Chain A
Amino acid sequence: LAKTTQPISMDSYEGQEVNITCSHNNIATNDYITWYQQFPSQGPRFIIQGYKTKVTNEVASLFIPADRKSSTLSLPRVSLSDTAVYYCLVVSSGSARQLTFGSGTQLTVLP
């Protein structure tokens, strides 16, 4: 299972774009990258997933360079309600759908 490294915490202001970068140097060929968001006393919530290049959905974008050793979650125009812990995970497409969570990044959005 590929280990991920991401900043422990980040602060931002409302309306700004936030980029959280995650490194995963030993990602395997068939692995894909997934980001989850977690609020206190709630389960993690899926944000976005990708394999390479760029993926965009209604809440975020995910940028993955060609070597796939890192990825960047981009949150456009954050609001106070985006304050949460964000987890970057590398997931195998194999049968054991075990997710390995690190400590995540605590994002605090300030007014």
Chain B
Amino acid sequence: ETGVTQSPTHLIKTRGQQVTLRCSSQSGHNTVSWYQQALGQGPQFIFQYYREEENGRGNFPPRFSGLQFPNYSSELNVNALELDDSALYLCASSGGLFNNSPLHFGNGTRLTVT
């Protein structure tokens, strides 16, 4: 069973640029969610995708957008990067919306905005 994998592991961008982060969900999982974790804080929910449709969104501006592909992998896109976007970005997958199975997290992408 392959776990959740994220790429790249580290990334440095300049303020105003755009970034795309990628996530491969665990085998058999059709639901993917994204979280932002600033240093010293708990992860904050960005949004969730189920069968290629956004299904739930946290308190993040529209410049945070995403995609889910037919193979259930996902991308997180952030436009017009700001310094405060520097954080660990975590992807998590699960087997569906209505089951109680826990989320499986990847090890994240560390984004630094300078």
Chain A residues at the B interface, C-beta cutoff of 8 Å: 32, 34, 41-46, 49, 87, 91, 93-104
Contact = CB atoms under 8 A, between A and B. Distances in A.
A32 B100 contact: yes
Nearest to B44: A101
B33 A43 contact: no
A43 B102 contact: no
A49 B42 contact: no
Contact of A100 (B31, B45, B55): B45
Name the interface size band of chain B.
20 to 34
B103 to A, nearest CB: 7
Which 8 pairs from chain A and chain B are nearest by CB? A43-B105, A101-B42, A96-B56, A46-B102, A98-B45, A95-B97, A101-B43, A42-B107
Interface of A is mostly: loop
Interface in B33-89: 33, 35, 41-45, 48, 55-56, 58, 88
B33 A97 contact: yes
Contacts of A102: 42
Nearest to B47: A98
Interface of B: 4, 31, 33, 35, 41-45, 48, 55-56, 58, 88, 90, 92, 94, 97-98, 100, 102-108, 110
Contacts, number: 64
Contacts of B43: 44, 99, 101
19 contacts: A41-B107, A41-B108, A43-B92, A44-B90, A45-B105, A87-B42, A93-B98, A95-B55, A97-B33, A98-B33, A98-B45, A98-B56, A98-B58, A99-B35, A99-B45, A99-B92, A99-B103, A101-B43, A101-B44
